[in-house]
Structure 1
């Protein structure tokens, strides 16, 4: 089968390898769409902290079921969403239902080879039948679920004033699901095109271009009270450090992004706000279900999100171009 592999940072290569064998309890899937994620760009750039090379990337998958275990309700030919976080089921986190942060979690496309290939075999519990979704939509569920999980972790309510810092795909996902809860959402980014997208397509209440006077601007627009919830989706340590200062007293600070760096805050500032600091990692099955319900209800502008696409056979040339900010990518899809 054709497979797109990252043998080392900065390189992508289309190769042939054997089709996977379906093990007991596994589902064999025909991959049809692969969403390109910030994680993939970091892997290509050599800045993703959790993997070794070579690696087949791809964890945002829209697929068709080829073969499932006997007695499974997963029917051949059905469109499927893949939950790419393979959990052990045994550790304390898993036993408490927190499979997203399993001690031994293995994420497709990061800790083990993912879906930039014609076929993949994954455990049946990680496959969700989605006959009501298009293949494009199925490939977008995972990244949207990360945003939905962050909003759930932040306990966002309709009365909250929310600041989303970073209007990439994860920030966009957080904006969608904060708005779905009725919150007032301000989106901040350096890129005007992404801010315009957040206002036009996502219903962001306010947009702010980040700059030297950011704090003063946010202070003025909130009458000095700042925000009940700040969501950082930048993956940029200085931005993550600065986010505390945009948080109101009694607020919740949710870190959706992860970086191989130390994040620090002045303790007096942290304490006087009685800050709740929250990490948000991956997503749970309930988050996937929430996204799929929202898609089915027409609450997610998936057609607008899918700004770029190419056949997987052209992925080695396309992905490095999509990684450049000037390309204007929101979500790029490989068609397999």
Structure 2
């Protein structure tokens, strides 16, 4: 089968590899669309720690079932969205309903080969039926579920105010699902190009540059910058009694003044990956027309053309929200 391989930082190659073997409890899927994530760009540029090359990237996946699942939940030919977090099922997190932070997690396309290829075989439990969706929409479910998970952790609802710092795909997803939850949303970024994209996706949100922002206090602040300085600075925007949700994960130390943290009685959340309920929430919102799929999907390519397109987009992140590979 055709597979797009990053065999070392800075080099992609389309190669022929054997089709994966069947395994008990697994389901064979034909890949139809792949969202390119920031993680994929980092892998290509050699910036992803704890990763071995060569690697087939791709964890934002829409696929067609090539067989029935053993429990009858999925029929051959069904479109599915893939949950790429392969978990152990045995650690404390897994056994207490938090598999998104499994102690032994293996993410498709990162810790093991992913979906930038023609077929994959994954655990049946990681395939979610996506009735009524098109492949390009199903390929966006995973990254949107990350934002939806952060919003759920913050517990915001109608009448809440929310600030999202960082207008990349994850931040825009969080902003969208904060709006769906009923919050009034402000999005801030240092890039005017990113903010223009944010306005197209979130016409009801306030979008402003970080430098021009005067401050304000919000019931929930979401950091999606991937910048430790921004993460340390975001506390000052949290209202008294509010929540600070870190969608970003970077190397570095969180440092902010305890008096500022304490006087607000701040609730501090890390938000990692997403749960099945988040995937289902995203797909339900898509089916109800609440997700501007066309506005999110700014770029597209084929598996063959991705050899040249992905490196180009890796250097032009300010004008790309979500690029999709169609197989």
Output the TM-score relative to the length of structure 1. 0.94
What does the per-residue CA deviation read over 1:123-178, in whole Å, with 9 as the maximum and x for residues that have no partner? 00000111311000110000010010000011111121110001110011001100
Q: Equivalent residue for 1:295?
A: 286
- Cα distance between partner residues in 2 of 1:305 and 1:275: 32
Equivalent pair of 2:69/2:75 in contact (CA under 8 Å): no
- Cα distance between partner residues in 2 of 1:173 and 1:301: 11
Q: Equivalent residue for 1:149?
A: 149
Give aligned pairs, total: 327
Q: Equivalent residue for 1:24?
A: 24
- Cα distance between partner residues in 2 of 1:167 and 1:90: 36
For the residue of structure 1 that corresponds to 2:215, the secondary structure is: helix
1:93 equivalenced with 2:93 (yes/no): yes
1:285 equivalenced with 2:262 (yes/no): no
- Cα distance between partner residues in 2 of 1:287 and 1:20: 29
| Structure 1: 4+ residue segments shifted above 6 A | none
Q: Equivalent residue for 2:84?
A: 84
Select between 4-13 and 43-52 the one with higher mean Cα deviation: 43-52
- Cα distance between partner residues in 2 of 1:313 and 1:51: 24
Select between 287-296 and 268-277 the one with higher mean Cα deviation: 268-277
Shift of 1:201: 2.6
- Aligned-residue Cα RMSD (Å) equals 1.4
Q: Equivalent residue for 2:224?
A: 233
Output the TM-score relative to the length of structure 2. 0.96
- Evaluate the alpha carbon distance shift between residue 326 and residue 178 of structure 1 in structure 2; reply closer, same or farther with a 3 A threshold: closer
Aligned with 1:245 (options 216, 236, 253): 236
For the residue of structure 1 that corresponds to 2:125, the secondary structure is: helix
Shift of 1:261: 2.1
Equivalent pair of 1:133/1:296 in contact (CA under 8 Å): yes
What does the per-residue CA deviation read over 1:248-269, in whole Å, with 9 as the maximum and x for residues that have no partner? 2221100001112222212222
Structure 2 gap segments, 5+ residues each: none
Give the 5 Å matches for 1:161-240: 161-211=161-211, 214=213, 217-219=214-216, 226-240=217-231
What does the per-residue CA deviation read over 1:259-281, in whole Å, with 9 as the maximum and x for residues that have no partner? 12222212222222221110000
Shift of 1:207: 1.2
For the residue of structure 2 that corresponds to 1:282, the secondary structure is: coil
Select between 6-15 and 20-29 the one with higher mean Cα deviation: 6-15
Select between 9-18 and 297-306 the one with higher mean Cα deviation: 9-18
1:273 equivalenced with 2:270 (yes/no): no
Structure 1 gap segments, 5+ residues each: 220-225
Equivalent pair of 1:186/1:204 in contact (CA under 8 Å): no
For the residue of structure 2 that corresponds to 1:176, the secondary structure is: helix
